[in-house]
Amino acid sequence: MAEHDLDSRGFDPVSRQVIGLAIAVHRQLGPGLLESAYEQCLAYEFRSNGIEFKRQVDLPVVYKEVRLECGYRLDFVVENSVIVELKTVERHLPVHEAQVLTYLRLSGLRIGLLLNFNVPVLREGIRRLVL
């Protein structure tokens, strides 16, 4: 990705698109629902906008050249470049950011979005992490 592909806040086009659609979902639904409701609605928005995504992607751990299925799942992988992890928590905790960074390391992807829908304004619940 070239430097000129980033917006004034340093966001790439895919992250920008995901954030815009997540804000639209949050404006429609507000806070207080289960994570699964936001996941379904965001998947609908991705499909409606022609955005390539995979949902509930298995993420194995490779240990000493052995692939271990440990039950890790990515909420979304968008355009084969951005991991999107959804939360509905009171506030982001360091463990949530560590989770996304671990997912990035294990997947080989560089950009992750941590979206907490349990906030009055979604902008307060967005964390973009780059490995």
Residues near 36 by Cβ (< 8 Å), separated by ≥ 6?
A: none
Task: Please answer whether residues 80 and 111 qualify as being in contact, where contact means their C-beta atoms are separated by less than 8 angstroms.
Answer: no
pTM above 0.75, yes or no: yes
Residues near 84 by Cβ (< 8 Å), separated by ≥ 6?
A: 18, 42, 74, 75, 76, 77, 78, 112, 113, 115
Q: How far apart are CA 51 and CA 37, in angstroms?
A: 19
Full pLDDT tens readout for the chain, 131 residues: 444 455 555 669 999 999 999 999 999 999 999 999 999 999 999 999 999 999 999 888 887 888 888 778 999 999 999 999 999 999 999 999 999 999 999 899 999 999 999 999 999 999 999 98
* Both structure tokens of 124: 């307060």
CATH of span 11-130: 3.40.1350
